[in-house]
A and B are shown apart, each in its own frame.
Chain A
Amino acid sequence: MSTPPTQSRRQFLQKAALGGALAGTVSLPILANTDKLEFPDNLPEWMRAPGGEFGNYGQPSKHEQQVIRWISANPAAPGNGVSWTPLHDLQGTITPNGLHYERHHNGVPQIDPEQHVLLIDGLVDKPLSFDVKSLMRYPMVSRTCFIECGGNSNSGWRSNPIQSQAGYAHGLVSNAEWTGIPLKLLLKEAGIKTSAKWVIAEGADAAALNISIPLEKLLDDALLALYQNGERLRPENGYPMRLVLPGWEGILNVKWVRQLRLTDEPIMSRDETSQYTELLPDGTARQFTFINEAKSLITSPSLGMMLPDNPGIYQISGLAWSGRGKITRVEISADGGDSWVDAELQGPVLDKAFTRFSLPWHWQGEYAILQSRATDETGYVQPTREALVENRGKHGFFHYNAIVSWEITEEGDINHVYGF
């Protein structure tokens, strides 16, 4: 807001009174003689009157209201759908809790923690139930990792490149610090029979989502998470408890988890047969493809932005992650993959977590195609779209992790194109 060059004492008093948080009880500032004020003219109004009230729970600035999850749900069943993290509007590596992506199969249950228990049964020595209060007394660990939906980026399988902002095409992935109980503690308390190989996890939502998870993963690095980025889980992220399986596709990270049944065989539920399996050109399908392979994405500049200065220096910035470990390298190309240079990785580079990469770019008005290409510690290199489609056909639908290409026109506009 612009401030008039001169301001009367009366106007100042009115503004101060209006801006006061405790209207009616606030005492007005003692005013100096206007003639002698050192900064009468150009100070912004928020420096000349008390600011707003304290808040019990903080909210983003009203100037950032466009930074939202984009919801894509079935109008006939609004609880069945997804919401996308606006990766193109975020920086750093931690996804704020209010912007973590969602996939719900039948809405967000509002669970009373007093009534929720976790049952561990099946091939165990003694079935056990755990209530929330008891679980809060267990030793907890924290780890930062991404969770990515197996269906993330699936628009990439379409024959024409979708013109959506980066997060609204690739934002079914988010990264948070999860705190909870190593699942092996709870499983061992129940006593694992040697014949147990799988665990059927079930959620307490209105889809009673059930899915088979290899016991081996739960005994490795899986958590029963109770906290997300330091606060208790949000309802949409599994309150009061969820599974977190670092690096493994989202559907396995069962929210609102109520039961873990140890078995010798997978249950062959809907979400491990009909869904989250990948059809190949020969008509067979890949099943139990649990791990999210290495992937990267330039989040800035990206579609929906433009390059205002020609020539100008722009900070290319993006995210890379791998379900198999740490990201070791991200390369950037400005010519559609003909030549590559290494981007800088922002530390600390964590296992199975978002890694921010960046590289300054001097754009001189030329037509360009920006790409990023991730490599993880196993040596796996993110494939081109051409290679992915060659390998998996056009109907895989899940686990799309190809290089993303942003076309920069000579006018500085940005489009999504398929690589060359």
Chain B
Amino acid sequence: MSMVSKFIATALLLSLSSYNYADTEHQALGKPAEALTQQAQWNLSIAPDGKALPKGKGVAAQGKKIFALKCAACHGPEGIGASADPLMGEVGSLTSDYPEKTVNSYWPYATTLFDYIRRAMPINAPFSLTPDEVYALSAYILSQDAIIAEDFELNEKTLPQVTMPNREGFTAFYPEK
């Protein structure tokens, strides 16, 4: 090998070995977010234990007014039979030839009702209801099938204690057996 080609070979080797391989696959770029986790907008999900429920209260009579104003257009005045999902009635229908999966006939947890109304309803103005309004609407819907009494106050303590008619109606297919 000539001096010149030796020089070129050495230069190539040097240029190759100057590459700094990363010693880990990637740089950790997540930012500490403890502060975010304390904020209400990052704590929307409410489990059946109700621990994440906001303070507030409402009864069916208050909910009935809000329902007529903000819900009945899509869900129907009776909460069933309109363009949106059925809410009330048909408890006990699940084994019939025409089962209706209403909130009251099918949903296993009352906490889900609060969680869903607050995050998604009314559909043209999500997050526009106060906690008191959501408690009142939940009370109205549940009271229509006597799941709670007409005058029962729903609040962050009482809502998780409500037992839905179809509480035991679900079989988990995960984990698979």
CB neighbours (8 Å) of B33 from chain A are 119-121, 127-129
A409 at the interface (CB under 8 A from B): no
A347 at the interface (CB under 8 A from B): no
The distance from the CB of A135 to the nearest CB of chain B, in whole angstroms, is 8
CB neighbours (8 Å) of B2 from chain A are none
A/B interface sample: 18 pairs, CB < 8 A: A77-B83, A77-B84, A106-B126, A119-B33, A121-B37, A128-B30, A130-B31, A134-B30, A137-B27, A185-B26, A210-B119, A265-B47, A268-B108, A268-B112, A274-B101, A277-B170, A285-B171, A287-B173
Query: In chain B, residues 90-120, which have Cβ atoms closer than 8 Å to a Cβ of chain A?
Result: 94-95, 99, 101, 103, 106-109, 111-112, 115-116, 119-120
A284 at the interface (CB under 8 A from B): yes
**Once the chains bind, are A283 and B169 in contact (CB under 8 Å)?**
yes
A229 at the interface (CB under 8 A from B): no
- Do most interface residues of chain B lie in helix, strand or loop, or is the interface mixed? loop
Query: Which residue of the partner chain A has the closest CB to B31?
Result: A129
Report A's interface with B, CB cutoff 8 A: 74-77, 79-80, 105-106, 119-121, 126-131, 134-135, 137-139, 185-186, 189-190, 200, 202, 206-210, 214, 259, 261, 263, 265, 267-270, 273-274, 277, 279, 281-290, 395
B23 at the interface (CB under 8 A from A): no
**Which of B31, B37, B170 is in CB contact (< 8 Å) with A285?**
B170
**Once the chains bind, are A129 and B36 in contact (CB under 8 Å)?**
yes
A282 to B108, CA, bound (A): 16
The distance from the CB of B62 to the nearest CB of chain A, in whole angstroms, is 23
CB neighbours (8 Å) of B123 from chain A are 77, 79-80, 106, 206
A-B contact count (CB 8 A): 153
**Once the chains bind, are B119 and A273 in contact (CB under 8 Å)?**
no
CB neighbours (8 Å) of B111 from chain A are 268
**Which of A106, A138, A263, A270 is in CB contact (< 8 Å) with B112?**
A270
CB neighbours (8 Å) of A281 from chain B are 95
B78 at the interface (CB under 8 A from A): no
Nearest 8 Cβ contacts at the A-B interface: A128-B30, A288-B174, A134-B29, A283-B95, A208-B119, A283-B94, A129-B33, A270-B116
B8 at the interface (CB under 8 A from A): no
**Once the chains bind, are A207 and B119 in contact (CB under 8 Å)?**
yes
Query: Which residue of the partner chain B has the closest CB to A213?
Result: B174
B74 at the interface (CB under 8 A from A): yes
- Also in contact, A268 and B109, with CB within 8 A (given A106-B123, A128-B32, A274-B101): yes
Query: In chain B, residues 1-60, which have Cβ atoms closer than 8 Å to a Cβ of chain A?
Result: 25-34, 36-37, 42, 44-48
CB neighbours (8 Å) of A283 from chain B are 94-95, 99, 169
A291 to B177, CA, bound (A): 14
CB neighbours (8 Å) of A287 from chain B are 170-173
- Also in contact, A139 and B25, with CB within 8 A (given A74-B84, A76-B73, A288-B172): yes
A290 to B94, CA, bound (A): 22
Number of interface residues of B (CB under 8 A): 49
A135 to B108, CA, bound (A): 38
**Which of B83, B106, B172 is in CB contact (< 8 Å) with A74?**
B83
CB neighbours (8 Å) of A267 from chain B are 45-47, 115
**Once the chains bind, are A284 and B170 in contact (CB under 8 Å)?**
yes
A290 to B170, CA, bound (A): 15
A286 to B115, CA, bound (A): 22
**Once the chains bind, are A202 and B29 in contact (CB under 8 Å)?**
no
Contact with A along B107-149 (1 / 0, CB 8 A): 1110110011001100110110000000000000000000000
A129 to B28, CA, bound (A): 11
**Once the chains bind, are A129 and B30 in contact (CB under 8 Å)?**
yes
**Once the chains bind, are B26 and A138 in contact (CB under 8 Å)?**
yes
A242 to B115, CA, bound (A): 22
B150 at the interface (CB under 8 A from A): no
Query: Which residue of the partner chain B has the closest CB to A212?
Result: B45
**Once the chains bind, are B74 and A77 in contact (CB under 8 Å)?**
yes
CB neighbours (8 Å) of A270 from chain B are 107, 112, 115-116, 120
The distance from the CB of A73 to the nearest CB of chain B, in whole angstroms, is 11
B85 at the interface (CB under 8 A from A): yes
A284 to B174, CA, bound (A): 16
**Once the chains bind, are B101 and A279 in contact (CB under 8 Å)?**
yes
CB neighbours (8 Å) of B170 from chain A are 273, 277, 284-287
**Once the chains bind, are A76 and B120 in contact (CB under 8 Å)?**
no
**Once the chains bind, are B84 and A76 in contact (CB under 8 Å)?**
yes
A138 to B25, CA, bound (A): 9
Query: Which residue of the partner chain A has the closest CB to B125?
Result: A206
The distance from the CB of A125 to the nearest CB of chain B, in whole angstroms, is 11
**Once the chains bind, are B108 and A273 in contact (CB under 8 Å)?**
yes
A287 to B107, CA, bound (A): 12
**Once the chains bind, are B112 and A284 in contact (CB under 8 Å)?**
no
**Once the chains bind, are B26 and A259 in contact (CB under 8 Å)?**
no
Query: Which residue of the partner chain A has the closest CB to B119?
Result: A208
A89 to B112, CA, bound (A): 41
- Also in contact, A75 and B30, with CB within 8 A (given A127-B36, A261-B45): no
A209 to B120, CA, bound (A): 8
Query: Which residue of the partner chain B has the closest CB to A211?
Result: B45
**Once the chains bind, are B126 and A207 in contact (CB under 8 Å)?**
yes
**Once the chains bind, are A121 and B36 in contact (CB under 8 Å)?**
yes
**Once the chains bind, are B27 and A269 in contact (CB under 8 Å)?**
no
**Once the chains bind, are A395 and B45 in contact (CB under 8 Å)?**
no
A80 to B83, CA, bound (A): 11
**Once the chains bind, are A269 and B116 in contact (CB under 8 Å)?**
yes
The distance from the CB of B104 to the nearest CB of chain A, in whole angstroms, is 11
A208 to B112, CA, bound (A): 14
**Once the chains bind, are A286 and B30 in contact (CB under 8 Å)?**
no
